[in-house]
Amino acid sequence: MSQFEGDLGATDTFRFLEEKLGAGIWRYDVLTRQMLWSRGFHELLGLNPGVISPSLEEFNQRIHPDDRSLRRDVGDMLLDGLPLDRDLRIIRPNGRLRWVHDQAEMLLNEAGEPARIIGVTLDITKHYETLQPLRAGIERHDALIKAIEGLVWTASSDGRITSLPNWKAAGQDGPRLVHGNGWVDLLHEEERDAALKSWSVAVETGRPYKVEHRLLQPGGSYRWFRFSAVPILNPEGGIQEWMGVSTDVHDQKVLGLTAPPSRLTGAQMRAARGILNWSVRRLAEQAGVSPGVVRRLEEYDGALPVSDESLEVFRKALSDAGVELLFPQVGKPGVRPR
């Protein structure tokens, strides 16, 4: 083991610590309002000792404008006497931006009055740069949850629901579902056994989960939901938790919006042109027919008296333009923007 030859002076010790830790020490005299900076503090600000006279004003000018009014400063310490503990950005003379962590405490004189403030500032830029990808990932995760049209949920590795991050935004009765396996009581009895079996298999095997079943609503009625979930694995490959989304598909399920298309009607053609703001000539050009043909077909409210091949031409033209043709099992055919 190495041993020191003689004493290591305080100046050398401070210099060594400042250099290795990327730190600087400063002191503020309450009575004279003068400030002293160590060599490490000068270097942290990108300044050479002796070039600029240390002062509180000079230091504040180096702080990023967005950080000047959002965090406590020396003035606040003089008012409340509380320690200073803040992260902020400084701008060096060469334009480079550095993140620093600044801590300070007030020292009192024999009469118990504020005498000096002593602080230490650390360069934490590398720390912030390391955390940046993590912050970006969290922001993307939060944005994705806000954008999803459905109820987002997480479950433990054994399948118990643990949280519903967006239950308020999704308009759901969240607390009824959060607690463990309470969601089971909300399942319709006709789908309960199949849903539980599918979920148990997914939890045991780690396979993605995708099931449709009815869920009891606060008013006592049932609505159809599509439940999808995937496992999140830990570094060892085991299941850490599950993340899923429940989407309301009641209207599609009841009205049969996902059923195979029926025959196109003249009323649908007229409505589709209205959505697209197309003229008769525009639709005729897209379908490869004459405007007279389009006019005659639109006179029919019911199914068009043309061949399946001709119907497919019109369907494709309208679908490619952004219109969805609806053929519910109950009610009249309709259209809507895709």
CA distances from 206 to 130, 154, 210, 229 (A): 32, 14, 12, 10
- Token readout for 119 is 């602080």
Whole-number pLDDT of residue 27: 93
pLDDT digits (tens, 9 = 90+) for 140-184: 766 666 666 677 888 888 888 888 776 665 555 544 554 567 778
10-128: what fold?
Answer: Beta-Lactamase (3.30.450)
Does CATH number 1.10.10.10 belong to domain 149-251? no
Residue whose C-alpha is closest to residue 187's, from 246, 258, 100: 246
Whole-number pLDDT of residue 115: 92
Whole-number pLDDT of residue 303: 78
pLDDT digits (tens, 9 = 90+) for 225-273: 888 888 988 888 889 998 888 888 887 776 654 444 567 888 888 998 8
pTM: 0.44
- One fold for both 10-128 and 266-337? no
| Residue that is written with structure tokens 């703001």 in the block | 277
d(CA 41, CA 25): 6
d(CA 61, CA 328): 67
What is the SS3 assignment for 239-292? EEEEEEEEEECHHHHHHCCCCCCCCCEHHHHHHHHHHHCCCHHHHHHHHCCCHH
250 near 310, Cβ under 8 Å? no
Q: Which 3 state secondary structure label does DSSP give 94?
A: coil
Continuous segment of H or E residues that includes residue 58: helix 56-62
Whole-number pLDDT of residue 225: 85
**Domains of the chain, residue spans:** 10-128, 149-251, 266-337
Whole-number pLDDT of residue 282: 92
Does CATH number 3.30.465.10 belong to domain 266-337? no
One pLDDT digit (tens) per residue for the chain, 338 residues: 445 455 556 677 767 777 778 888 999 999 999 999 998 999 999 998 888 889 988 998 999 998 887 677 888 888 888 888 999 999 999 999 999 999 999 999 988 889 999 999 999 998 888 877 777 766 776 666 666 667 788 888 888 888 877 666 555 554 455 456 777 888 888 888 888 888 889 999 988 888 888 888 877 888 888 888 889 888 888 899 988 888 888 877 766 544 445 678 888 889 988 899 999 999 989 988 898 888 888 888 777 887 888 888 888 889 888 888 887 765 678 888 87
Whole-number pLDDT of residue 89: 92
